[in-house]
Amino acid sequence: MKWLRVTQVENIPVRQGRVVRFGSLELAIFNLGGAFRAVESRCPHKQGPLADGIVAGDDIICPLHNWRISLDSGFVKQPKEHAETCVKSFPCRVEQGVVMVAIPEDVLREAAA
């Protein structure tokens, strides 16, 4: 795991998401107010832009067809018949006012190739 700087905390307003790219890896980073979450940016349904979705508690609701995805686990919560489907989620923390995300080394290598 490698911790990477994303942006200053104030650049992601509470209950909003922003896209960040590391090579070909595109993540959606969300400010839940007191905590940040990072998941792959594209919805597992039809690639909707999750960063533009609506934050509802610890979930994100995709702006295209309203699939509800847990930002903690990455798993789809609704529709329930797709509960086995998920996006990858990545640990986040704040360090001296900067949002940091942890990416596995192999994922980073693949994204840089």
Which residues contact ligand FES (rule: CB under 6 A)?
Answer: 43, 45-46, 48, 62, 64-65, 67
CB of 64 to ligand FES, least distance (A): 4
Where are the alpha helices (H) located in 20-103, listed in sequence order?
Answer: none
User: Which residue(s) pair with 56 in the sheet?
Assistant: 59
CB of 101 to ligand FES, least distance (A): 22
Residues 6+ apart with CB under 8 A from 67: 43, 44, 45, 48, 61, 76, 78, 79, 82
Q: Of 4 and 82, which has the nearer Cβ to ligand FES? A: 82
Q: Of 64 and 100, which has the nearer Cβ to ligand FES? A: 64
State the residue for tokens 């940091």: 100
CB of 61 to ligand FES, least distance (A): 8
For residue 106, give the DSSP letter.
Answer: H
Q: Of 36 and 67, which has the nearer Cβ to ligand FES? A: 67
